[in-house]
Chain A
Amino acid sequence: MGLFGGGKQSGRERRAMKDHLVELDELRRKQLRDLGAMTVEMAEAGRFDRERLSEQAREVVGIDREADLIARGLEEGLTLEELEDLARSDDEPATDPGK
């Protein structure tokens, strides 16, 4: 069991979470393609701008984190409020491994 579990997840919330997970997957793939295109452009230019690449990769990491949170909400049957609380509690300064 998770941290919460006081309330009960409704079917509507579950559907919304699933839909959002699908959206996040699409968004992640789009961001990855953009990142790939950016890399190709930089390779053509002969210079890789790591700042820009890191910035784009950070967005993908943010999407991954959100997707993990939603997946956890689905797995543990959390309500949206509990999920919001969890997101706030996990909203600590992100480490930047790219630097």
Chain B
Amino acid sequence: MRKGALKKKQRQLEELHLDRREALGELVLGMFVQGSWDEAIMSRGAAEVREVAEELDALAAPPAPPVDSGEHDLAPTGEHTAEHSMPETGEHTGTHIIPGPGMPDTAEHTQEHAVPAATPAVTEPGPKKPEAGKTGSDSPAATAESAPPKAGTPKPDSGKPRTPKPDTGKESSAKAVAAAAAAASTPPAPGKPETPKPPASVAVEGKAEAEPQPKLSELDLLEEKIGKSESQARTAAEAAKASTAADSRTELSAITREIEADRTKLTSTLSTASARIADAEKRADAAEAKLARESAANREAAAGWVRSQAAEIEADAALAAEIAADPDGSPDSGADAGPRQAELEARIRTLETSLEAEKASKIEALTIAESRLKAIEESAREAEKRVEEAEASLSEAGTAPVPVEAAPGIVTEAEAREAAVVWLRGQISALRQEISKGEASDKKGGT
């Protein structure tokens, strides 16, 4: 595989790994929120994550040297197979004849042969070691090609076992070995994810590998190889399926988030629009109320103005009437001009009536007094005539003495009549003075 493609693949795997971790976290979060823990589901999710992690580790591992398969430089202690005692030159695999105490002298053998048949502890196919894949190869070229494993692809050529990642510092070598051992020790049951195994079992298996291996027939080896290939293919297919499912979940969650965001945005837009509509309606109501108030105020102001104009006109009319009725009087102004004017007019009318009546009575009295005066003057003149006749008769009889007793009587009656005339004349002059006085006062009040 080209380096660029390798990097791309690695990047994709890293993203897939992160997505799966996140999905597993969501899963656990959901369990926490609902309060129902399901360890089986958690284990399955963890297996999926670990699967991708292993593929990623396998991809990140440096490729093996092209010629040497690498098994020859192992330390004297630790894990090793029967190949370590092979000659130093040339490629070699497990097909070389390895003289060992428990090994048959036949041709091909794998590391599984290290487990003695008599050992009851390991009955199933032995753990896959990194070297195990090479033991089944027949040619050096095939050995060299098996170094970069195909990770995460369902291709059947990935049937070669993954080489465990050397100690890169990310995780310990023990963990890597444990992961490899767990992957290898899983029975090739279809559709079942790998289950973790404690590292202790690895140690046991590592010890067992050092044991001499029995020889198997080529057919068995081929069958075993095919079985391994099938198992790897199934694992890869499951990984691809899980990857697709995780991708689908991720995409679904992204779409869900987008929909939620759009819905939130739409809701906020709708609420904003409704708030604006309500605000506009409020403003319209306020404007209508203001218009109504202004119209009412204008009508009231117009009515007030009309009323004031009418009052002014009435006042002007009253003033004009007052002026017309009493040109010499002082003009009154204001609201009480009307009643006061009427009162004054009534009073004037009363005064004029009483004045007329008084004048008429005085004129009547004067007329009576004048007629009486005339009568008195007539009687006084008659009395004077009689007195002159008496004096003339007395002078004719001059020679004869006139009795004195009769004379005082005649004088007394004349004097009484004279006194009455004088009194009447005084009364008439007094009446005339009064009448003249009343006329003068009337003239003064009119001015």
Q: Establish whether residues B21 and A36, one from each chain, have CB atoms under 8 Å apart when the complex forms.
A: yes
Interface string of B7-41 (1 = CB under 8 A from A): 00000000000101111111011011111010100
CA distance in complex: A71, B267 (Å):
12
User: Which of A33, A44, A60, A75 has the most chain B CB atoms inside 10 A of its CB?
Assistant: A44
CA distance in complex: A4, B198 (Å):
58
Interface residues of B in 33-77 (CB under 8 A from A): 33-35, 37, 39, 42-43, 45-47, 49-50, 53
Q: Establish whether residues B39 and A48, one from each chain, have CB atoms under 8 Å apart when the complex forms.
A: yes
Interface string of A75-89 (1 = CB under 8 A from B): 100000000000000
- Do A39 and B46 contact each other (CB < 8 Å), given the known contacts A1-B275, A33-B21, A99-B35? yes
The answer to whether the Cβ of A93 comes within 8 Å of any Cβ in the partner chain is no
Cβ distance B179 to chain A, nearest Cβ, rounded Å: 8
Looking at chain B's contact residues, the main secondary structure is helix
The answer to whether the Cβ of B196 comes within 8 Å of any Cβ in the partner chain is yes
Contacts of A40 in B (CB 8 A): 21, 24, 46, 49-50, 53
Q: Establish whether residues B264 and A71, one from each chain, have CB atoms under 8 Å apart when the complex forms.
A: yes
Contacts of B309 in A (CB 8 A): none
The answer to whether the Cβ of B248 comes within 8 Å of any Cβ in the partner chain is no
Q: Establish whether residues B21 and A75, one from each chain, have CB atoms under 8 Å apart when the complex forms.
A: no
Q: Establish whether residues B196 and A44, one from each chain, have CB atoms under 8 Å apart when the complex forms.
A: yes
Partner pick for B25 among A1, A34, A74, CB 8 A cutoff:
A34
CA distance in complex: A23, B292 (Å):
55
- Do A57 and B32 contact each other (CB < 8 Å), given the known contacts A32-B25, A35-B25, A75-B264? yes
- Do A39 and B37 contact each other (CB < 8 Å), given the known contacts A32-B22, A57-B28, A58-B32? no
User: Which of B22, B29, B53 has the most chain A CB atoms inside 10 A of its CB?
Assistant: B29
The answer to whether the Cβ of B367 comes within 8 Å of any Cβ in the partner chain is no
The answer to whether the Cβ of B371 comes within 8 Å of any Cβ in the partner chain is no
Interface string of A39-53 (1 = CB under 8 A from B): 110111110101001
Q: Establish whether residues B45 and A39, one from each chain, have CB atoms under 8 Å apart when the complex forms.
A: yes
Q: Establish whether residues B32 and A37, one from each chain, have CB atoms under 8 Å apart when the complex forms.
A: no
The answer to whether the Cβ of A11 comes within 8 Å of any Cβ in the partner chain is no
Q: Establish whether residues A46 and B196, one from each chain, have CB atoms under 8 Å apart when the complex forms.
A: yes
The answer to whether the Cβ of B429 comes within 8 Å of any Cβ in the partner chain is no
Cβ distance B251 to chain A, nearest Cβ, rounded Å: 15
The answer to whether the Cβ of B268 comes within 8 Å of any Cβ in the partner chain is yes
Q: Establish whether residues B34 and A29, one from each chain, have CB atoms under 8 Å apart when the complex forms.
A: no
Looking at chain A's contact residues, the main secondary structure is helix
Q: Establish whether residues A97 and B50, one from each chain, have CB atoms under 8 Å apart when the complex forms.
A: no
How many residues in A have their beta carbons less than 8 Å from beta carbons of B? 31
Contacts of A6 in B (CB 8 A): none
Q: Establish whether residues B21 and A37, one from each chain, have CB atoms under 8 Å apart when the complex forms.
A: yes
CA distance in complex: A40, B54 (Å):
12
Report the nearest A residue to B46, measured CB to CB.
A43
Contacts of B39 in A (CB 8 A): 48
Interface residues of B in 386-442 (CB under 8 A from A): none
The answer to whether the Cβ of A31 comes within 8 Å of any Cβ in the partner chain is yes
Partner pick for B24 among A36, A44, A50, A54, CB 8 A cutoff:
A36
Partner pick for A43 among B23, B31, B47, CB 8 A cutoff:
B47
Contacts of A37 in B (CB 8 A): 21, 49
- Do A36 and B25 contact each other (CB < 8 Å), given the known contacts A43-B50, A44-B46, A44-B196? yes
Contacts of A1 in B (CB 8 A): 271, 275
Cβ distance A44 to chain B, nearest Cβ, rounded Å: 5
Q: Establish whether residues A98 and B268, one from each chain, have CB atoms under 8 Å apart when the complex forms.
A: no
Report the nearest B residue to A98, measured CB to CB.
B32
CA distance in complex: A82, B231 (Å):
61
The answer to whether the Cβ of A61 comes within 8 Å of any Cβ in the partner chain is yes
- Do A53 and B268 contact each other (CB < 8 Å), given the known contacts A1-B275, A39-B46, A44-B196? no
Cβ distance A77 to chain B, nearest Cβ, rounded Å: 9
Partner pick for B20 among A36, A54, A61, CB 8 A cutoff:
A36
Contacts of A32 in B (CB 8 A): 21-22, 25-26, 29
Cβ distance B232 to chain A, nearest Cβ, rounded Å: 21
Partner pick for B50 among A34, A44, A50, A53, CB 8 A cutoff:
A44
Report the nearest B residue to A57, measured CB to CB.
B32
CA distance in complex: A9, B24 (Å):
38
Partner pick for A57 among B23, B29, B50, B271, CB 8 A cutoff:
B29
Contacts of B178 in A (CB 8 A): 44
Cβ distance A72 to chain B, nearest Cβ, rounded Å: 10
Report the nearest B residue to A71, measured CB to CB.
B264
CA distance in complex: A63, B46 (Å):
24
CA distance in complex: A80, B244 (Å):
43
Given pairs A31-B25, A36-B45, A42-B46, 11 additional interface contacts (CB within 8 A): A33-B22, A34-B25, A36-B24, A39-B49, A43-B43, A43-B47, A44-B50, A44-B196, A48-B37, A48-B39, A75-B264
Residues of A within 8 A of B (CB): 1, 29, 31-37, 39-40, 42-46, 48, 50, 53-54, 56-58, 60-61, 71, 74-75, 97-99
9 A-B residue pairs with CB within 8 Å: A31-B25, A32-B26, A39-B45, A39-B46, A40-B53, A46-B196, A57-B29, A60-B29, A97-B35
